[in-house]
Structure 1
Amino acid sequence: MLIDRRPSRLSRWRAAYHRLPLPASIKKLLAAIYRRVLLGAVRAIRNAMNAGQTFISPSPVPQPQQAGLADYIIWGAIDWDLRHQRPQQLAQALGATGRRVIYVSSSLIDARHAGFELAPLDEQGRLFQVSLFAHGAPRIYAGAPNAAQVHQLLRSIGEVLLWSGSTRVISLVQHPFWCDIAGELPDSRLIYDCMDHHQGFDDNAPDILQLERRLVRDADLRLFTSDWLARQWPAQPHEPSAIVRNAADFAHFSSPPASVYRDRLQRRVIGYYGAIAGWFDAELVASIAEAFAQHVVLLIGADTAGVQARLRGCPNVEFMGEVPYGALPYYAHGFDVCIVPFRVTPLTLATNPVKVYEYLSAGKPVVSVDLPEMQQFGALVQVARDTPGFIAAITQALAPSTAEHLAQRQAFAAQQTWTHRADALITLAEHRDHAARVSVIVVTYNNLALTRACLESLERHREGIALQIIVVDNASSDATADFLAQWAADSGHRVILNPDNRGFAAANNQGLAVATGDYLVLLNNDTQVTSGWASTLQRHLQRNPELGLIGPVTNNIGNQAKVDVTYTSLAQMPQAARRFTCRHLGERVRQPTLAFFCVMMRRSTYTQIGPLDEVYGRGFFEDDDYCRRVEHAGLACACARDVFIHHQLSASFGQINQSERQALFEKNKAIYEAKWGPWVPHQHE
């Protein structure tokens, strides 16, 4: 059951402001003074108070994430309290399934540090609005965030993830401003919910439209509210798109409330509710008012286009201003005919009006201008191509409806609810049959306990990934071979048992030769992976075609990938890793040489570069060598600071005595330098 909330104080002020009988030019001036003067003063005070402040997660904490259910983060195009429409309806319908939903407000909080403000939206602890901290609190319609703001917003949403404990996320973006933030969440799918033709809005800056193009390109799934919108964007190879239209809360609108609106003069009511903005056809409404002078034309909604002033000469046109969502059935059931009087522009051609589903839920006759999305309603909605046709359709609609007509309208609407839309969204968003396959090659040599822990961590953190695991054993002398044979039989994964120790490079090459994945990972057996590791590394490669190799940060390595993550036991490691990675979302550092305790590459990179050079025998310098070859091919290597993998370090080489290790090191260093010149030792930052 969806939960109605009382409007916030801010939304009540907005509604009162929109009802003021002032010219549009004066309202714009007042809005500018509010934004530039009053808000500026508030921001200055808040920044002074927040200087040097450490963020502490607010209360209350959410209900725990249910096993098997994704959390949804909805990146809003509007504030929750602005007007109850698709964003809020989908959020509530998703929450009703037991999923947790975090609604990111379009209004940012001006602060110099990372963090967020929290507003619970239900009584079950599953639905929250968060307002992220961002210095300057930019308006999301005014332009793309700059690099510093993106960095801070990533840190802020990272704090949200730490507060919520989310381990699997669907990132549902409803405005392009969020593109560079929403796409960086760990173990997430990026979904663009394209609700509008953004080019049609006057307040969307050009760089917002550029972000939208990138969002359409990078999204794992694109949803469109209309066929017209979907046709504006070319299909993306290997990435699905779908039409998920708007809907209605049928239960909210279908039954007449105890009290229904009646005109004070007992006139019949030609009604409209919704935004009264630039796309509203005031001239058409004036013609309707003139043609039906004996009836009242009732317009409900915030007038942001000066329509009331333009219709001042129409005595039977009445404006009610904005009313709460909960009050809409009171008016809808008082309408004798419902209208959609829009101008036909690219913006309205793209629209799938929520109000039509709500009008039909109330069983009311509907007359609309000729928009593509009206076709789905068939004879349930009368469509007019010009003003005379619109007036004729109203005349017909004003004839008494039969019980059969009412039942047909409501029967259609009953199958077009937000619950239906949420179910469709869940099916599309949470099934990953199309996911790219990741092949992981693990080379083993003794250290059975470490191998067992490594493989267990891979299975524990699959998280919907199509994962192929290939283990190549280099003639272990402990019980490793027997364990791996049984493990392969139980899991269906691949094991290659070598009769002798072929060395690190050759064994990895054996695994690479039989790997079938779109992405290939070389992973040491003395590691343990963490939540979202593979999907996050994969995303870095997907979004950055200049990268050839990507690796994680770790607790123990001899180069810049080592970071300060404190834990005293492996039981503490996942939470410590989570704290670090959530505070470094999307961060990537170019690194000349990656240590091959864990690296990922695209299959195309492997095809271009080829296998590891087996001249290095048992090990040392094969990773340096491969990085030089990647570099020589014009690609880069990088370390992802939002992926942490625990590393024991030198578990296999630790079994070799020091003098033998040093001799092998010097021998392979000479081989490397003969190919590439003087070796540059790995260094910490």
Structure 2
Amino acid sequence: MNDVRGHLDGVVGRLAFGWALDDSDPSRKLKITIVDKQTGATLGEGLANQPREDLGILGQQDSDYAFRIELNSFPSSLAEIEAVAGGVTLVKASTSTAAPSSGNLSSRSLDVLASLNQANLALQRTLALEIKVKRIAAALGLPLDIDNELPDDQKHQPRETPRQKAEEPGKLIVFSIIDWGYRYQRPQQISASLAEDGYQIYYVNANFIATHSSGSDSKALLPSLKRVRKNILEVTLKKPPHFSGSGNEQDLNNIYNHPSDAMALWISAQLRSLIEIYKLESAIAIIMHPSWHKICRTGLQELPIIYDCMDHIAGFPETSLEVIEEEKLLASQCDALVTTSEFLHNQFTHNNHYLIRNGCEYAYFSAAAMPDSLFERYQSATSPIICYYGAISGWFDLKLVADVANQLNHHTFLLAGSTEGCDLDAVEIPDNVHFLGEIPYNKLTALLLLADVCIIPFKLIDLIKATNPVKIYEYLAAGKPVVSTRLPEIEALNLDESLVRLAATADEFSAAIINATQEDSSHEVVAARRHFAAENTWNNRKELYDQALNSIFPEVSIIIPCHNNIHSTQLCIESLQAHTHYPNYKLIIVDDASKDGTHHYLNRLQEQNSHISVITLEENSGFAHACNRGMGQARSDYLVILNNDTQVTPHWLFKLLRALRADQSIGLCGPVTNAIGNEQKIKIAYGTMKEMQWRSQEFTTARHRKTLEVDALAFFCVMLKRAVVRDIGLLDEDFGLGYYEDDDYCVRARKAGYRLVICDDVFIHHELSKSFGKDDLKRSELIAKNRTLFCAKWGFDVVHSYRDEEGFG
């Protein structure tokens, strides 16, 4: 059995995970036994038969050699347990030499290390959510068995590299307001247009499906997936098994009701599995219903969010107060806000706001249509036909249509659409009004072929005032004259009457229809209608949407000054490659006259990575000068100064940027850390960098988006706006090799009116004073000298203190 190899990677709660492989018989899936190291007692057993992407990257056959085993007790650390496969004790990850060492300088090495770290942390995040879900299930009396084994068609998806080019389309998770197979409307149209440009779309349906009611579905936390077209994957989430099929828990059937904490956890755990499977660490979330925001802030906190607000959600009578409050929170916290009408645009205040109205699929609606047997009985009609299609609900003015139909009793009115929410008994319907029911999208042009005039008879309520009607563009693309009530969004178009006539009363509406049927629909008039529609297509809207998407990831320049300590520099850069998950950054490394081989390492790194540039200084001029050289070369609007004795955590860069952009008055922001002498220090202990990632995540997740305004930030890691540099200049190089230059800069920034904040949801590991090694005398002399310089400049000394708050200090 000497051909057995593998790792015991870690333990989270009562879940142990790792991998094992028998090289002599790769088809054999090994039995894994987890034992107590001291007593030898068996704590749990299972098979190493689950897929994991990083195993494929390291050449582990088909990669289906991972295990997750639930233990019968809670070990306090990895050191307490061992994993045995075929009589061989597996190596623990912290002592493994199988992965490439940090001394290997190739970009392939960096990619593999990044992939391993991504997989481990994504797996840990999923396992943590699974543990919470199981705990809730147990409280409800649900013996839920979750192993998350993937179906065959979901295995071996290509891994997203740690950094993709900014110009390449990315991955989007569309949290829709309707299912993909429902009426083909804005959510599907926007998704389809973006998919055509190369975006990978994960379209999450609004309605949930049942999980096996037995409570033992082995794929309970895997959503149902279906490829609906190129670059679009339809995602359908599952209800908790306890409620599936019960029929009395309507709030669990879809996203429209505000989810409870337990429901949000259940749904977010499924989405976390999706992110792990398809490597969506750098995806952008497009939220189309406020309740999705509760899901994202429960288990998907790292995702950038665009809120696509297409409806006045408070205008729907079934909308709860919780959903309305969630929308306020979403609108204030989203990273970009898209609204579809002037009414909605004016409802919100946001510093990254886009007005992107609806559009039409011009090629479909303008093409020559063919008659359809569905409408055969109306094809021989000699009287004018007046058409409407769409929802016939509470906002549809049925009385207006009935009154107009009575006045125009020789006209035929065809109304296509669901009448759910409309009281048909409240109005006496004339015989010349025909309800056709729902019409498939691919038959709409056949209906329009019959139409002499198309109508939009909506009530002037807030819900409709907030609506930019898709129908106006579709009707005109088909070359049809339109009559509408005086909707603000149509009035704002200021169109000629040959395109659309507006009416406020039944008499005006009837007169407008008569005029529309009698006018000369010449080739020029039809062409004018179609020309307007051609300028308002979904492809046109896609270009605006690209602006919103591109605004999420503006270019950021990271400046790393380094003087010797090559090992620290390597670890810092490897952590950047693994955990930045940001597709648009430049890395500028300033070698401040290093003598330990750093120069050769950085030059090779620069040759292999287009986003990395190196500045080499002949003399060691100090921290401020090195930072200034880096900032002088950078062209980005956002800058980061990062010490080379740091290691970063997942999504650190985006979370700092999110805090910096939250308010125009914020000029600088920084993370919390393990070692510093101010309010940024937290109480945290860990033995390895892997443990650091997990323990810091536990701390920061509980403090999602929390910030604290302070007088000073330490520059071991700080993000600042280019505007600050323009206003107050670069670091003061009079402070020489180091100390007090960051305090000086913070004073200057505050005097210029900028605020400084600590981001409690970002942790950066810091070695502290690595640059000066063990030379305490040199450090003390520098501090004393620069304190004198600072006091002479400002008339006071800075006094730093720890935060008087639980978990800090």
After TM superposition, the score normalised by the length of structure 1 is 0.69
Match of 1:103 in 2: 203
- Aligned match for 1:192, one of 293, 303, 307: 307
Q: Output one character per residue of 1:558-585: Cα deviation in whole Å (capped at 9) or x when no partner.
A: 97566798979xxxx9xx99xx89x969
Question: Using the alignment, how far apart are the partners of 1:602 and 1:266 within structure 2?
Answer: 68
Counterpart AA for 2:318 = D
Within 2, Cα distance between the matches of 1:220 and 1:419? 23
Whether the aligned pair in 2 keeps the contact of 1:256 and 1:362 (CA below 8 Å) is: no
- Going from structure 1 to structure 2, the CA distance change for 1:283 and 1:447 (only over 3 Å counts) comes to same
Q: How big is the shift at 1:450? A: 5.1
Alignment of 1:331 onto 2:447: yes
Query: Counterpart of 1:451?
Result: 569
Partner of 2:146: 53
The 1:430–1:347 alpha-carbon spacing in structure 2 relative to 1, beyond 3 Å, is closer
Q: 1:553 to 1:270 in 2, by over 3 A?
A: farther
Match of 1:87 in 2: 187
Question: Structure 1, residues 9-29: CA drift from partner, whole Å, max 9, x if none?
Answer: xxxxxxxxxxxxxxxxxxxxx
Aligned residues of 1:260 and 1:334 also touching (Cα < 8 A):
no
| DSSP 3-state at the match of 1:534 | helix
Q: Which runs of structure 2 are paired with 1:174-185 in the superposition (5 Å)?
A: 174-179=288-293, 181-182=295-296
Preserved contact between residue 282 and residue 581 of structure 2 (Cα < 8 Å): no
Q: 1:292 to 1:678 in 2, by over 3 A?
A: closer
Amino acid at match of 2:389: Y
Q: Tell me if the contact between 1:75 and 1:182 (Cα under 8 Å) persists in the aligned partners.
A: no
State the number of aligned residues. Answer: 619
Amino acid at match of 2:508: G
CA distance in 2, matches of 1:635, 1:335: 62
1:251 maps onto 2:364 in alignment: yes
Give unpaired runs (5+ residues) of structure 2: 1-135, 244-250, 675-680, 788-796
Distance in 1 (CA, whole Å) between partners of 2:714 and 2:210 is: 40
**In structure 2, what is the equivalent of residue 283 of structure 1?**
399
The correspondence for 1:385, drawn from 465, 483, 504, is: 504
Which residue of 2 is the match for residue 160 of structure 1? 274
Query: Counterpart of 2:233?
Result: 127
Aligned residue type for 2:201: V
8 Å Cα contact 2:591/2:598 also seen in 1: no
Q: Secondary structure at the match of 1:202?
A: coil
2:224 equivalent in structure 1: 118
1:170 and 2:263 are equivalent in the alignment: no
Secondary structure of the residue that 1:431 maps to in structure 2? helix
1:525 lines up with 2:644 in the alignment: yes
Structure 1 gap segments, 5+ residues each: 1-42
User: Aligned partners of 1:677, 1:586: CA distance in 2, in Å?
Assistant: 23
Counterpart among 283, 300, 318 of residue 203 in structure 1: 318
CA distance in 2, matches of 1:180, 1:565: 33
Query: 1:373 corresponds to which residue?
Result: 489
- The change in CA–CA distance for 1:59 and 1:403 in structure 2 (over 3 A counts) is farther
Query: Which one of 399, 404, 407 corresponds to residue 523 of structure 2?
Result: 404
Asked whether the 8 Å contact 1:117–1:131 carries over to 2, the reply is: yes
Counterparts of 1:541 and 1:132 in 2: how far apart (Å)? 37
- In 1, the alpha carbon distance for the partners of 2:702 and 2:524 equals 55
Contact 2:586–2:612 (CA under 8 A) maintained in structure 1: no
1:86 is aligned with what amino acid? R
Q: Which moved more, 1:247-256 or 1:112-121?
A: 112-121
Mapped partners of 1:45, 1:84: distance in 2: 40
Paired position in structure 2 for 1:226: 341
Contact residue 244 and residue 425 of structure 1 kept, 8 A: no
Which range moves more in the overlay, 367-376 or 269-278? 367-376
Q: CA deviation at 1:280?
A: 0.9
Asked if structure 1 preserves the Cα contact closer than 8 Å seen for 2:180 and 2:188, the reply is yes
1:5-44 map, 5 Å: none
Q: 1:292 aligns with which of 408, 431, 436?
A: 408
Q: Answer whether contact 1:308 1:319 (CA < 8 A) is retained.
A: no
1:427 partnered with 2:527: no
**Is 1:341–1:368's contact at 8 Å kept on the other side of the alignment?**
yes
Q: What is residue 303 of structure 1 aligned with on the other side? A: 419
Query: Which is further off, 261-270 or 349-358?
Result: 261-270
- From the superposition, tell whether residues 288 and 218 of structure 1 become closer, same or farther in structure 2 (CA, over 3 Å): same
Is the 2:499–2:529 contact (alpha carbons within 8 Å) kept by the matching residues of 1?
A: no
User: Is contact 1:439-1:519 (8 Å) kept?
Assistant: yes
Query: Structure 1 493/181 Cα, relative in aligned 2: closer, same or farther at 3 Å?
Result: farther
Quote the Cα distance in structure 2 between the aligned partners of 1:491 and 1:124: 30
Q: How does 1:554-573 map to 2 (within 5 A)?
A: none
CA distance in 2, matches of 1:253, 1:233: 35
The 2-side partners of 1:262 and 1:521 are apart by 67
Amino acid across the alignment from 1:326: N
Q: Would the alpha carbon gap of residues 181 and 448 (structure 1) be closer, same or farther in structure 2, given more than 3 Å must change?
A: same
TM-superposition CA deviations, 1:350-379 (whole Å, max 9, x none): 222122322233333321112233235533
Match of 1:640 among 761, 766, 775: 761
Distance verdict in 2 for CA 1:53–1:403, change over 3 Å: same
Please name the residue that 2:252 is paired with.
137
Separation (CA, whole Å) in 2 of partners of 1:648 and 1:675 = 22
The AA in structure 2 aligned to 1:476 is: S
Instruction: State the partner residue of 2:513.
Output: 394
Q: 1:161 to 1:264 in 2, by over 3 A?
A: same
Match of 1:23 in 2: none
Shift of the alpha carbon at 1:597?
6.1
Q: CA deviation at 1:338?
A: 1.7
Cα–Cα, structure 1 residues 173 and 164, in superposed 2: closer, same or farther, change >3 Å? same
Quick check: 1:539 aligned with 2:655? Answer: no
1:154–1:586 CA contact under 8 A, matched in 2? no
Does residue 1:261 correspond to 2:375, yes or no? yes
CA distance in structure 2 between the partners assigned to 1:154 and 1:602 by the alignment = 33
Cα distance in 2, alignment partners of residues 156 and 321 from structure 1:
36
Query: Is contact 1:46-1:110 (8 Å) kept?
Result: no
Q: Secondary structure at 2:169's aligned position in 1?
A: coil
Structure 1 Cα separation of the partners of residues 277 and 480 of structure 2 = 46
Distance 1:409 1:139, change over 3 A: same
User: How far is 1:663 from its partner?
Assistant: 11
Paired letter, 1:222: L
Structure 1 residue 588 displacement after superposition: 6.9
- Please report the TM-score for the alignment, with normalisation by the length of structure 2: 0.60
Question: Would the aligned equivalents of 1:106 and 1:140 in 2 still touch at CA under 8 Å?
Answer: yes
Residues 190 and 219, structure 1, Cα contact 8 Å, conserved in 2: yes
2-structure distance, mates of 1:530, 1:209: 34
Match of 1:72 in 2: 172
Counterparts in 2 of 1:185 and 1:265: CA distance versus 1, 3 Å:
closer
For residues 114 and 676 of structure 1, the distance between their equivalents in structure 2, rounded to whole angstroms, comes to 54
Q: 1:410 to 1:528 in 2, by over 3 A?
A: farther
Query: How far off is 1:86 after superposition?
Result: 0.9
SS at match of 2:542: helix
CA distance in 2, matches of 1:141, 1:679: 44
Distance in 1 of aligned mates of 2:713 and 2:554: 24
- Aligned in 2, Cα 1:162/1:620: closer, same or farther, shift over 3 Å? farther
Aligned-partner SS, 1:339 = strand
More divergent stretch after superposition (215-224 vs 285-294): 215-224
Q: Does 1:341 align with 2:441?
A: no
Which residue is equivalent to 2:790? none
Secondary structure class of the residue paired with 1:398: helix
Q: Supply the distance in 2 between the matched residues of 1:310 and 1:352 (Cα, whole angstroms).
A: 27
Supply the distance in 2 between the matched residues of 1:464 and 1:447 (Cα, whole angstroms). Answer: 28
In the alignment, is the contact (CA less than 8 A) between 1:225 and 1:351 conserved in 2? Answer: yes
Which of these residues, 361, 364, 385, is aligned with residue 477 of structure 2? 361
Tell me by how many angstroms 1:290 deviates.
0.6
Cα deviation, 1:136-188, whole Å, max 9, x if unaligned, reads 73854444x55565555544433222122125433222222233555796886
Query: What amino acid is the match of 2:357?
Result: V
Q: Cα deviation per residue 1:502-555 (whole Å; 9 max; x = unaligned)? A: 5x799779989999977664423255657744113322555599998653799x
- Hey, what's the Cα distance between the residues in 2 that align with 1:442 and 1:505? 12
> 1:19 — aligned with what?
none
TM-superposed CA distance for 1:306, in Å, is 3.6
